[in-house]
Amino acid sequence: MEDSTTIWTEKYRPKKFDEVVGQNEIVKRVQNLAKSMNIPHMLFAGPAGTGKSTLALIVVKELFGVHWKENYLELNASDERGIDVVRQKVKDFARTKAIGNVPFKVIFLDEADALTKEAQQALRRTMENFTSTCRFVMSCNYSSKIIDPIQSRCVVFRFKLLEKKEIEKRIRVIIEKEKLQADDKTIEKLYEVSEGDCRRVINLLQASASISQNITPELVSTLISGAEPAEIKIVLEYSLSGDFLKAKEKLLDVMLKESVSGTDVIKSIQKEIWNLQIDDELKVRLTEKTGEVEFRMVEGSDEFIQLEALLASFVLAGRGVIK
C-alpha cells in the first residue's frame, strides 16, 4: 500500500472527458470548445473536489497532445498571489510562441480567488495584451472574489457538488480495483462525510485501506475530524430537557476526547436540529441561532463560550422561552 495520500487522487483522476462525473453540461460545452482547437478564457467556479483542475488538465491534453507540458503553465494563486507573479512568470510565459499546431499556450491559475486585487488588476491587462498567444483558465471556490473585469473576459462555468450516485460510482470503482471490502453502510458513511467532495472520499478510502482491507463505518469515523451525530443528539436532548450542566459536560467530552473543532460541532448541530422531535418553527429559530454563533466563531470569538451560549438557547427553547 502506498504511503502518500496523494497517490490515489492522481491514480483515479479522470483522464478523458467522458470519465468526469457530475458535471455533464459543463463537460459537453468545454469538450466542444476543445475540439474546435480554439478556447476562450475560462473561469471554473465551484466547491472543492468537484473536478475543476481535472477538467482544465483534460482540456490542455486534448489541445496539445504530446506537447501539452511545453504549452501549459500551472500556478497556485494561493501560494503565488502577488502582483510580481503576474508581471514576471505569467507575462514571460504568455509572450512566447506555442509549440505545435495550436497558436496559443494555456495558463492555469488554480485558486484564483486568492489573488490580491492588485494582481487581478494587472492580470486583466495581461489577458487582453496576450490573447493571441495565450489563454487563461482559472479556478476558484468563490467567483464573487474575482473582479468583474476579469469575469467579463471569461466564459464562466459553475460547478456543483457531486450527487450521491456519482460519488458512489467512483467509490465502487476504487473498491473493485484495489480489492477492498466495503458494504453499503460504509459507502453511505463515506458519502456523508465527503459532502460532495470526491477528492476527500478518495483520500479517506486510501487512509482507511492503509489500516485494513475491510473498510467499516467505524473505521471511517476514526479518520474524520467530526462529531458523531448520536453524540451531538445526546447533547441537544440534554439541553432541550433543561439539563444545561449535563449538556455542557457532554459537549466538552465530545470536543476534547475526539479533538473536534468548534466549527465542526456547529455543522453537526445544524444537521441534527432537523432530526429533533420539536416543532418545525422552533427548528428554524434554532437554526438561525446556530448561524449567529457560527458567524461569531469565524470572526474570532471563543469557541467554548459561544457553544455554551448556543446550548443555553436550546435550554430556553425547551422551556418555551424561545418560540
Cβ-Cβ contacts under 8 Å for 323 (sequence gap 6 or more): 281, 282, 285
> How confident is the model at residue 3, as a pLDDT?
46
Nearest in space to 193 (alpha carbons), one of 213, 178, 209, 208: 208
> How confident is the model at residue 79, as a pLDDT?
64
> How confident is the model at residue 197, as a pLDDT?
87
Burial of 36 by CB count in 10 Å (0-12 exposed, 13-18 middle, 19+ buried)? exposed
> How confident is the model at residue 305, as a pLDDT?
92
> How confident is the model at residue 1, as a pLDDT?
41
**Could you say which DSSP state residue 81 is in?**
-
* Distance (Å, whole) CA 125 – CA 260: 45
The phi-psi region of residue 96 (left if phi > 0; otherwise alpha if psi is between -120 and 50; otherwise beta) is beta
23-158 CATH, one of 3.20.20.70, 3.30.565.10, 3.40.50.300, 3.40.50.10800: 3.40.50.300
- Helices and strands (DSSP H and E) totals, the chain: 16, 7
Residue 105 β-bridge partners: 134
Nearest in space to 123 (alpha carbons), one of 103, 94, 144, 99: 94
Cβ-Cβ contacts under 8 Å for 24 (sequence gap 6 or more): none
Domain 229-318 has CATH 1.20.272.10: yes
> How confident is the model at residue 2, as a pLDDT?
44
Fold of 164-223: Helicase, Ruva Protein; domain 3 (1.10.8)
> How confident is the model at residue 153, as a pLDDT?
92
Q: Which residues of 138-174 are buried (b: 16+ CB within 10 A; e: fewer)?
A: bbbbebeebeeebbebbeebebebbeeebbbebbeeb
* Distance (Å, whole) CA 78 – CA 318: 45
Stretch(es) of the chain classified as CATH 1.10.8.60:
164-223
* Distance (Å, whole) CA 257 – CA 319: 30
Stretch(es) of the chain classified as CATH 1.20.272.10:
229-318
Could you list the pLDDT tens digit for every one of the 323 residues in the chain?
444 556 777 888 888 898 888 888 999 999 999 998 889 999 999 998 899 999 999 999 999 988 899 999 888 866 665 666 667 777 888 888 888 888 899 999 988 888 888 888 888 888 888 888 899 999 999 999 999 999 999 999 999 988 888 888 888 989 999 999 999 999 988 888 888 888 888 988 898 988 989 999 888 887 876 667 788 889 999 999 999 999 999 988 888 877 778 888 898 898 889 888 888 888 899 999 999 999 998 888 888 899 999 999 999 988 876 65
* Distance (Å, whole) CA 215 – CA 38: 45
